[in-house]
Amino acid sequence: MSTTDTPSPGYHPSYASPDGDIILRSDDGVLFRVQSGVLIAGSGFFRGMLEIPRDNVEKENNEPIVMQETSGVLLIILEIINPMGDFPTIDSLDVAQQLVTAAEKLEVPKVITYVRRLIMRNPSFLESPLDLYILGCQNHWEEVARAASTGTLIYNLNASIHLEKLKKLNTDDLLKLQSFHCRRKRAMIDALHPYTGSPPVINWDNMLTGHPRGGHNHSPENYLCGPWKQLKLDISEAMESQPRGNWLRPRSFIEQPELQGLWVHRCLRDRCPSHSYFGKNEVHAELIRILDLLPSSI
């Protein structure tokens, strides 16, 4: 784009050229000189405004058009619609939402497309998954909301700290997210029961050691014993606070003192050779396998 060597006071240095016949004033007082052709081509709002001929007095005075957007937001919009503009970065979801709101008002679809694509390509936005889910839902970006829903599994949605953010969601989007968390937690707990029928299903024999592979069927009572119930309780409580289940992957989970009774438990089946028992490595591997099969997005 063309710029002046010595921008006039108050003008943004990238938009201070006298070639710009339209002056915009941001909410925080920064002025932007922009060619009317750029605004007409990129914005339905400005197209409707600027296609009405101005009289000589208006041209002479060339009063700035007062905008409600901050200079930062206005600069990004101009850079996106200007054929000679740069590819601006967006450093926060708050700025992204401001851009989308402004773009809808100013009828600049190119900005909305740009923001949407940038969010999907920048993994840093997933560091705030609940905010990203809200942004995706508010703008009907299904793929954004779906990707963000996976990230929300690090949260306990019932915690009071998330209440104010969740209020920003409409009822359908809130229930969809809550239902996803509940389905994942329920599927994990159901998989730990010997009589569950719907997948994912634990391969029980894979967790018992001390017998040849393909050996005897083992009594279902093994999976209703006190130590196994303790395992289910620990997993249930942990899934409630963090449904993603990353706490299950480290070896420290299976080594916790509360589970020691499981490693000395013997098969209750009378004809079981050597009374097979639960193996730490086998149980841990099977639990992680089930974890990886759980629902992962809305």
Q: Is the pLDDT of residue 290 over 70?
A: yes
> Strands 22-25 and 65-66, how do they pair?
parallel
The domain in which residue 218 lies consists of 196-291
Contact assessment for residue 32 and residue 15, using Cβ atoms and an 8 Å cutoff: yes
List CB contacts of 251: < 8 A, sequence separation 6 or more.
284
16 found inside a domain: no
Count of domains for the chain: 1
Q: Is the pLDDT of residue 101 over 50?
A: yes
272 found inside a domain: yes
111 found inside a domain: no
The per-residue pLDDT for 3 is 44
Report the alpha-carbon distance of residue 69 to residue 105 in Å, rounded.
11
208 found inside a domain: yes
| Range of lowest pLDDT (109-118, 124-133, 150-159, 201-210) | 201-210
Query: Measuring CA to CA, which residue among 77, 65, 72, 81 is closest to residue 33?
Result: 65
Q: What is the mean pLDDT of the chain?
A: 87
142 found inside a domain: no
How many residues can be counted in the chain?
298
The per-residue pLDDT for 138 is 93
Q: What are the backbone dihedrals phi and psi of residue 205, each rounded to the nearest 5 degrees, phi first?
A: -60, -30
255 found inside a domain: yes
Average pLDDT on 263-277 reads 66
> Strands 31-34 and 208-209, how do they pair?
unpaired
The per-residue pLDDT for 59 is 73
Provide the H-helix boundaries in 167-242: 171-191, 226-241
The per-residue pLDDT for 225 is 72
Long-range contacts for 279-286 (Cβ within 8 Å, ≥24 apart)? 279/207, 279/208, 279/209, 279/210, 280/254, 280/255, 282/206, 282/207, 282/208, 282/209, 283/207, 283/231, 283/254, 284/251, 284/253, 284/254, 285/206, 286/202, 286/203, 286/206, 286/207
25 found inside a domain: no
The per-residue pLDDT for 1 is 43
Q: Would the pTM count as exceeding 0.75?
A: yes
The per-residue pLDDT for 139 is 93
Q: Is the pLDDT of residue 265 over 90?
A: no
Query: Measuring CA to CA, which residue among 168, 176, 184 is closest to residue 145?
Result: 176
Q: How confident is the model at residue 261 (pLDDT cuts 50, 70, 90)?
A: confident
Give strand pairing partners of 32.
Answer: 24
Query: Could you identify the residue written with the tokens 């149980």?
Result: 283
Write out pLDDT tens, residues 163-217.
999 999 999 999 999 999 999 999 999 998 877 677 898 887 788 776 544 444 5
Average pLDDT on 240-253 reads 95
The per-residue pLDDT for 54 is 74
The per-residue pLDDT for 4 is 46
Eight-class DSSP state of 98 = H
- Per-residue tokens: 284: 């841990």
The per-residue pLDDT for 162 is 96
Write out pLDDT tens, residues 29-66.
999 999 999 999 999 999 999 888 777 777 777 889 99
The per-residue pLDDT for 211 is 53
The per-residue pLDDT for 262 is 86
- Integer angstrom CA distances of residue 268 from 231, 265, 288: 18, 9, 26
Average pLDDT on 265-289 reads 77
190 found inside a domain: no
